[in-house]
Structure 1
Amino acid sequence: MAETFGFELVSPEKLLLSVQAEMVTVPGEAGDMGILPGHAPVISTLRLGVIEVSKATGGEERIFVAGGFAEMSNNKLTVLAEEAVPVAQIDRAKTEAKLKDAREDLADAKTDLARAKAQAAADKFQAMLDCAA
């Protein structure tokens, strides 16, 4: 049996996943990081992207995250995500509608803050569609 480590994915609402993993890839701010058992301690902010989990029991999980933090220490990886959605649960039609709304908000924005919020929303919904393709 391959070596494993503990992995937990937590969103503001709840614990989304708690498993033994063989490998987890996280979308770090500086680039994707592959985490294996015995990985050196690390803390990283996350960008929009997909966490890929190779479970010890077999099978894989793909979860879209919109920001957060990842910490690896003592052979345990914990991800605190600002927002997380299993890729398989992304509804393309609803996400496309939200992207359209965000782009309209961006076009109508009157202040820098409104533009920044609308751009962030548009970027998130586009990233969700890209990973669900």
Structure 2
Amino acid sequence: MADKVQFDLVSPERRVASVEADAILIPGAEGDMTAMAEHAPTITTLRPGILKVTGGGEGDEEYIVTGGFAEINGSAITVLAERAMPRGDMTREHFQQMVKEAEDVLAKAKETHVNEPGPVDDAAKLLSDMVAMGDEIGLSAY
């Protein structure tokens, strides 16, 4: 039997998940990554996406995350998410609110950072990632 890793997913409101798992697929800002037991110590930022837990107590589970950090440390993986919820709890209303917030961030960045592409590009990427996540879960915003 493969080694398990302790996985904890925490949002500002609550602990969303705490299970022993075989692998965690993390939507990293620099690309998706899979972390398993004995993974090299790593800290990465998250992009909006679906975090997948394989081999947890109830089988495979998926969670919606919208940013934050993941800390991988051999036998433990902790994700501190800006927002996190089980995929099954995501409603069209939740998703539309998240997209609206991302659109507002982009509009404010365009207004505040005229001729400064960095912050505007970051805000556009946030919106793009949010829309892509919606497409993947069947709640497309457009």
Superposition TM-score, scaled by structure 2 size: 0.73
Write the letter of the residue equivalent to 1:129: G
CA offsets per residue over residues 23-57 of structure 1, 9 Å max, x none?
A: 00101111111011111111111111111001343
Tell me the equivalent position of 2:135.
Answer: 130
Tell me the equivalent position of 1:27.
Answer: 27
- Closer, same or farther: CA 40–90 of 1 in aligned 2, 3 Å: same
CA offsets per residue over residues 57-104 of structure 1, 9 Å max, x none?
A: 351111111110001114100000011122111112553476468658
Tell me the equivalent position of 2:15.
Answer: 15
- Closer, same or farther: CA 102–42 of 1 in aligned 2, 3 Å: closer
Write the letter of the residue equivalent to 1:24: I
Whole-angstrom CA distance in 1 between matches of 2:9 and 2:31: 19
Would the aligned equivalents of 1:64 and 1:131 in 2 still touch at CA under 8 Å? no
How does 1:1-133 map onto structure 2 within 5 Å?
1-93=1-93, 95-96=95-96, 99=99, 111-112=111-112, 122-123=127-128, 125-133=130-138
Whole-angstrom CA distance in 2 between matches of 1:108 and 1:34: 34
| Counterpart secondary structure, 1:130 | helix
- Closer, same or farther: CA 128–90 of 1 in aligned 2, 3 Å: farther
- Closer, same or farther: CA 48–3 of 1 in aligned 2, 3 Å: same
Whole-angstrom CA distance in 1 between matches of 2:108 and 2:38: 50
Whole-angstrom CA distance in 1 between matches of 2:67 and 2:104: 23
- Closer, same or farther: CA 84–131 of 1 in aligned 2, 3 Å: farther
Which structure 1 segments of 5+ residues have no match? Answer: none
CA RMSD of aligned residues (A): 3.1
Q: Percent identity?
A: 39
Superposition TM-score, scaled by structure 1 size: 0.78
- Closer, same or farther: CA 29–111 of 1 in aligned 2, 3 Å: same
Q: How many residue pairs end up in the alignment?
A: 132
Whole-angstrom CA distance in 1 between matches of 2:128 and 2:90: 15
